[in-house]
Structure 1
């Protein structure tokens, strides 16, 4: 086994290194072209080992060294982690550089150490070519891992293509969802249309005209106020609370709210069983907020104003008459339209005026 290049460079190892070569005939580079062998050189540097090879044999060995080094580099990079990758890349680049320099030095030593004119003439062209090949290959191999200037553009192109593919898939998915929604909508029951169709018959039969009321939480009270005024029933006729609210220039729905809340407060036994909270909290909420009104408030208003409230809806028309102490012939008859599905916010009341 021949000593390594590092051992050859160490003067302390010169004597040990020289022994394997004492019986070998040193062949000059010109031997490849028919020249005679010459005596071995004394051991003392790189020249002794290198001049034992022909130029062709050296090229073959160099190729094998490069191949072996590439195998080592591949193993190093394969076993590297994200944290150690940069250090491994730098180490591999340094190994490639060292090998390139060593092989270049070997070529120069092989062809330039003989001293004979015929050797220099015959080997000059091979030396120049060999050194150039080694340096060019070392330069290309020593480049750090990573994309070339053209590669990012190619990567960006692929990325843009992937983005277009994602957008196309998303558009297709949205189109499929839209088609599914249309299909589902086509098969769904049109509750709003059915409700309006059912109510329109009753409205026309009673010669009524619908007055749109703003859907703001006060719709029931606003619709009742509109009906009372349309039927010439004074908002202040429901007692002291109503008179105080009217004198305070409160809007119509506020007056009606105060009347409904006051009637519920004055008749707790009639309404407390239907409430899910204590009566005082319910009265305060109904009087001072935009809480929706319902059946309880209609019952209170029918009694407070002594009117019959007819509620047109999808189904049998509901009639709410005064009861208890106010049970008598109603002073007036008012009409409301009640929608469960006609408005996006939910339940809603409109006023139904008698056509002129």
Structure 2
């Protein structure tokens, strides 16, 4: 059941992504048709998943149309059997003619339903595959644009592991390129650079609470705990704290060549680090890589 539920969540997530993309691409003329198609796809997926759960639990899982068919059959009575062929006495040797049911067999409605359902699911899968082929590959397009903008700026990518610590690991790699010591922040293990940069970011925020607390949606101690002791992703506030803590300017290259610059507390002439930010390129979601000087 856990595997079935996990597959259902993935199917729902994939469908939501497809629906969102189709609605974005719809024009005024096609919007109504696209909305109807999206509603149909969502209803079909819901019906399919409910049917699979019911089958797993050993329950009846007939689609509404099939249930109506069966109800009609029950009301009309059993399907009449074909009359047995009456043969002359000389040919039957006086034996009673065998009923057609014994000769031809009873109609198997369950097999017919299963065959019809399999055909419908095959058709749905075919339609989904055709629609997926028409959707743009967001990951590949973002990757190609990012590589082009890196080349323009004389940068090359150092890929960072996508584990929740990517921002802090990327900053640590960049500081190493500038030969800036990471420091020995309390509680950090020197052999794990991202723990040191995490502790540095948390320490700066803790010592300057008035600059950060207004932007938090939770108590400051809870927020600092997430930075220091968990794999919580970092973002704009953490980049600001790191820029000020280490006295460097942080440039974040994003898709379509946009660059976000985060200034340090003091003059950082010659102390600039580069990060690459991806929105679609990695399985966990948003991601940062270190961008070193090419060559």
Specify if TM > 0.5: yes
Residue of structure 1 aligned with 2:162, choices 215, 228, 233: 215
Q: Aligned pair in 2 of structure 1 residues 250, 280: CA closer, same or farther (>3 Å)? A: farther
Q: Does 1:277 align with 2:218?
A: yes
Q: Does 1:306 align with 2:247?
A: yes
Counterpart of 1:225 in structure 2 is 172
Counterpart of 1:266 in structure 2 is 207
Residue of structure 2 aligned with 1:181, choices 117, 123, 128: 128
Distance 1:341 1:234 in 2: 32
Distance 2:214 2:231 in 1: 23
- SS of aligned partner of 2:131: helix
Map 1:45-194 onto structure 2 (within 5 A). Answer: 154=105, 158-159=107-108, 162-163=110-111, 165-194=112-141
- SS of aligned partner of 1:352: strand
- SS of aligned partner of 2:221: helix
Counterpart of 2:286 in structure 1 is 347
Counterpart of 2:148 in structure 1 is 201
- SS of aligned partner of 1:272: helix
Q: What's the RMSD between the two structures over aligned residues? A: 2.8
- SS of aligned partner of 1:347: strand
Q: What's the CA shift string for 1:256-276, capped at 9, x where partnerless?
A: 110011111111111111111
Question: Does the 8 Å CA contact 1:309/1:319 hold for their aligned counterparts?
Answer: yes
Residue of structure 1 aligned with 2:259, choices 303, 311, 317: 317
- SS of aligned partner of 2:210: helix
From the CA coordinates, give the structure whose radius of gyration is larger: 1
| Higher RCO, 1 vs 2 (CA within 8 Å, ≥6 residues apart) | 2
Distance 2:238 2:289 in 1: 15
Q: What's the CA shift string for 1:208-249, capped at 9, x where partnerless?
A: 22122111111111111111112211111xxxxx34456x43
Q: Paired residues, what number?
A: 198
Counterpart of 1:79 in structure 2 is none
Q: What's the CA shift string for 1:117-142, capped at 9, x where partnerless?
A: xxxxxxxxxxxxxxxxxxxx9xxxxx
Counterpart of 2:193 in structure 1 is 252
TM-score, normalising length: structure 2: 0.60
Q: Aligned pair in 2 of structure 1 residues 289, 274: CA closer, same or farther (>3 Å)? A: same
Question: Does the 8 Å CA contact 2:202/2:224 hold for their aligned counterparts?
Answer: yes
Q: Aligned pair in 2 of structure 1 residues 330, 167: CA closer, same or farther (>3 Å)? A: farther
Q: What's the CA shift string for 1:60-101, capped at 9, x where partnerless?
A: xxxxxxxxxxxxxxxxxxxxxxxxxxxxxxxxxxxxxxxxxx
TM-score, normalising length: structure 1: 0.50
Distance 1:224 1:199 in 2: 19
Q: Aligned pair in 2 of structure 1 residues 168, 281: CA closer, same or farther (>3 Å)? A: same
Question: Does the 8 Å CA contact 2:158/2:292 hold for their aligned counterparts?
Answer: yes
Question: Which consecutive unaligned segments of at least 5 residues does structure 2 have?
Answer: 1-95
